[in-house]
Amino acid sequence: MQDKTHLVDEITGHRRMRRNRKADWTRRLVQENRLTVDDLIWPIFLIPGSGIVEPIPAMPGVSRLTVDKAVEAAKEAADLGIPAIATFPNIEMELRDETGSNSLEKNNLINLATAAIKKAVPNIGVITDVALDPFTSHGHDGILRGSEIVNDETVEQVARAAVYQADAGSDIIAPSEMMDGRIGAIRHALDAAGHQGVGIMSYATKFSSAFYGPYREAISTGGLLKGDKKTYYIDPANGTEAVRDAALDVEEGADMLMVKPGLPYLDICWRLKEAFGLPTFAYQVSGEYSMIKAAAANGWIDGERVMLETLLAFKRAGCDGILTYFAPEVAKLLAKR
């Protein structure tokens, strides 16, 4: 009878994958992708007032911050080496209306925060979402007329809001409302206002996803939302349509692309990076974050390792960076290594 070692040798020949995995030093040497602090964008939530840090139950470890606390958070982020933060306002219910008119207030919550952060921490990048959902009484990203989210009127308002955000000091405008023609219109409006240096990170492929649940609690739109966002977000079944949608944003002048949610859409990250070669980002959204936190809290997974593994997966899928609520936690962890 043939000896078993000999049999494996005959099959593998000289090919043995495990040689490169045999020790920590070989594994480090052959590692193809690395996560660094430079890959991180930290989304934070804003509330009016001062001195308040209000935990969000559906997102353990994440809080809503008043502007002064957001400035402290931005300082912390900058000290950790995180390149940029992204801000999302939770404004008073009385200020929300059918058209999201507060988005056009020069000194609304998001613009006050931007100005304060840029003043105190000039070296951190500030990325602002310009969708209308934090400002509307119905929780939709655009203007609702009857039962329709009207495209062109929304684009016009979003482009005006983008200029106010840039006036306040925003470095990158990130439109997430998925209206047609928005990138071109925002570029045009920014340039006309003298903001040639302000970039646009398009939420190029934003899917109609259930993973946004905890975010809607965070900015208090969950209870408001009438219906769903299927007439403007992309169907999770469609990959080719997502690439076509992103192609339009590239043509219209997007500087960077984003895929959202992240982990369930790694194929889209890869396809966009391959197709356009633009800086490409994934948004690891609230539901992705909360699932990891919840399972870890129950002792079902090792939360820290799963966090790092998911973030590395984005790098492997071709992403240049990740918007993640884990940003400060990861940055601290990476600094210790």
Query: Interface with ligand PBG includes 128 (CB under 6 A)?
Result: no
User: Measured at CB, which residue is nearest to ligand PBG?
Assistant: 215
Burial 174-196 (b: 16+ CB within 10 A, else e): bbbbbbebbbbbbbebbeebebe
The only residue of 66, 176, 205, 280 in contact with ligand PBG, by rule CB under 6 A: 176
Q: In whole angstroms, what is the distance from residue 194 CA to residue 166 CA?
A: 10
Cα dihedral 99, 104, 107, 109 in deg (nearest 10): 40
Minimum CB separation of residue 131 from ligand PBG in Å reads 3
260 is catalytic: yes
Q: Identify which of residues 50 and 231 has a Cβ nearer to ligand PBG in the complex.
A: 231
90 binds ligand PBG (CB under 6 A): no
Q: Is residue 244 a contact partner of residue 234, using CB atoms and an 8 Å limit?
A: no
Measured from the CB atom, the residue of 171 and 288 that comes closer to ligand PBG is 288
Is residue 229 part of the annotated active site? The answer reads no
Say whether residue 310 binds ligand PBG (CB under 6 A).
Answer: no
Closest approach, Cβ 196 to ligand PBG, in A, equals: 26
Residues touching ligand PBG, count (CB under 6 A)? 12
Among 45, 135, 207, 212, binds ligand PBG (CB under 6 A): 212
State how far the Cα of 145 lies from the Cα of 35, in Å rounded to an integer: 45
Which residue from 37, 47, 133, 187 is in contact with ligand PBG, where contact means CB under 6 A? 133
Per CB under 6 A, 86 contacts ligand PBG? no
Listed residue (23, 28, 62) closest to 46, CA to CA: 62
What is the residue type of 260? K
Nearer to ligand PBG, 175 or 199 (CB): 175
Which residue shows structure tokens 């903001």?
Answer: 195
Residues 177-196 that bind ligand PBG (CB under 6 A): 177
54 sits in which H/E element: strand 53-55
Does 131 contact ligand PBG by CB under 6 A? Answer: yes
Catalytic residue among 118, 206, 293, 315: 206
Per CB under 6 A, which region of 6-14, 105-113, 212-220, 238-246 contacts ligand PBG? 212-220
Residue from 163, 285, 311, 319 touching ligand PBG (CB under 6 A): that is 285
Backbone angles phi, psi at 259, to 5 degrees: -115, 135
Extended beta strands in 175-317, E state: 199-206, 256-260, 280-284
Compute the half-sphere exposure of residue 310: CA atoms within 13 Å on the CB side of its CA.
Answer: 28
**Which class for 290: exposed (0-12), middle (13-18), buried (19 or more C-beta within 10 A)?**
buried
What does each C-alpha distance from 80 to 49, 67, 169 come to in angstroms? 26, 20, 22
Judged by beta carbon, residue 191 or residue 228, the one nearer ligand PBG is 228
Residue whose pair of structure tokens reads 């993640």 in the numeric block: 324
Query: Which residue, 54 or 68, is less far from ligand PBG as judged by CB?
Result: 54
Catalytic option among 69, 118, 229, 260 = 260
Interface ranges with ligand PBG (CB under 6 A): 129, 131, 133, 141, 176-177, 212, 215-216, 229, 285-286
**Residues forming the active site:** 206, 260
